[in-house]
Amino acid sequence: MKAPRFVVFVVLLVTLWSGSGPLLPDASASTPVGLWPDRPPGDTNALPAEVDLTKPDENFVGGRRLIRLGNVSEPTLQVFRPPADKDTGATVLVCPGGGYHILALDLEGSEVCEWLNSVGVTGVLLKYRVPKRPGLEKHTVALQDAQRAMGVLRAMAGELRLDPKRIGVLGFSAGGHLAAALSTTPVRAYPRIDAADDASCRPDFAVLIYPAYLTVKEDHDAVSPELKITTNTPPTFLSIAMDDPVRVEGAMFYSLALKQSGVPTELHVYPTGGHGYGLRRTDNPVTAWPDRVADWMKSQGLLGKSGGR
C-alpha cells in the first residue's frame, strides 16, 4: 500500500506544481502544496488558524513590513523556478527564521527564493510547523518537516528537472539552526511513510545566515548537542554581524568545529548589522551577504549547468 500512496502523492505534487502548462514554467512560483500525504507525524492537537502576527506598530525592515506567520500546523513546499536560460539545476530549500515561534515568511522566505532565481537556482520555500510542540525539543517537528522536504525533492528530482546532487539548504536565525540540524542529522526523526523517505535527507551544502542556537553559552560555547558534526557534514557558509543579539560566538565556534572535522567552511563576520535584515539591502555591508553566497556557490561548482539534468 505504501508505494501506490507515494505514487499518488507524487502525481498530486507534480500536478499542483505544474498547473495546466509545462512543468514549473520559467520564472514562476508554484502553488504551495502539502508536505505530508496525511497528518504530520506526532501532531494530535489542533492549533488555531494560521495568522500573520505582525502588529501595525512593529518596526519595518528595509522600509517595508513583513509577515510573521504563526500557528503553522500544515507544512508546505512552494517552488520558485528561475528562467530557463539561467537555470543551473541547483536547488536550495529555504528555511525562514522566527525563533521556532513564527515564520518570517516573506523577509526570509519568498524574497530569498526570488533572489536565488536571479542566480539561476531553484528556490523551495519550506513553511515548517511552529510554534514548538509541548514536551518536544524546540526544533523537533521543524526538523521532521525539513527532512521530509529534502527527501521529497530528491525523490522528485527527475520530474522537477533538479540536479539531485546539488540540493542545499539556506536558513536564517532559528531557520539557520534548522539548516544546521538538517546537515548533521542523517537519520530520519520520524518513521518511514513512503518512498520519499528512502532518499537521502542530507543537504549537499548549507548556508546559515545570522544563525541562532548553534552553541551553548553556559557550556563554554560547546556546539549544541543536537548538532552532531562529522566529516560527512556538508560544506557550509555562515554570515553574521558582531553586534547580533544571538551572539556571534555561536557562528564562530560552530565554524571552528566544522573546520576541526575537515568540513569545507566559509565564515563572514561583519562589524555591525544586528539581526533579522533578510536580504533587504541597506548601506550596511552586512546586507551584501547574498553576493558573498553567490561567490561561494560559484567556488563550490554549484552554479554551473549540469549535464545530468
List pLDDT tens digits, range 66-111.
999 999 999 999 999 999 999 999 999 999 999 999 999 999 999 9
What pLDDT is recorded for position 28? 66
What pLDDT is recorded for position 29? 80
Per the CB < 8 A criterion, the answer to whether 293 and 112 are in contact is no
User: CATH code for 2-299?
Assistant: 3.40.50.1820
Percent of the chain with pLDDT over 70: 90
Strand partners, 270: 241
Cα–Cα distance, 291 to 288 (Å, whole number): 6
Residue 32 above 60 pLDDT?
yes
Give me 248's grid cell: 556571534
Residue 218 above 70 pLDDT?
yes
What pLDDT is recorded for position 43? 87
Least confident of 4-8, 22-26, 91-95, 120-124: 22-26
**pLDDT classification of 265: cutoffs 50, 70, 90:** very high
Give me 245's grid cell: 543579539
What pLDDT is recorded for position 234? 98
The SS3 of residue 95 is strand
Comparing C-alpha atoms, which of 3, 274, 40, 62 is closest to residue 140? Answer: 40
What pLDDT is recorded for position 20? 35
Comparing C-alpha atoms, which of 91, 171, 98, 172 is closest to residue 131? Answer: 98
Residue 263 above 80 pLDDT?
yes
Comparing C-alpha atoms, which of 261, 273, 272 is closest to residue 233? Answer: 261
What pLDDT is recorded for position 189? 97
Q: 32-58 as b/e, with b when 16 or more CB fall inside 10 Å?
A: bbbbbbeebbebeeeeeebeeebeeee
Order of strands, edge to edge, in the sheet holding 103-104?
51-52, 68-70, 103-104
Distance of CA 305 to the CA centre of its chain: 22
- End-to-end, the C-alpha distance of the chain in Å comes to 30
Provide the mean pLDDT of the chain.
Answer: 91
Residue 307 above 60 pLDDT?
no
Q: Which amino acid is at 43?
A: D
Global pTM? 0.92
Least confident of 62-66, 100-104, 163-167, 230-234: 62-66
Per the CB < 8 A criterion, the answer to whether 248 and 271 are in contact is no
Cα–Cα distance, 301 to 54 (Å, whole number): 39
Identify how many contiguous H helices and E strands the chain contains and give both numbers. Answer: 7, 14
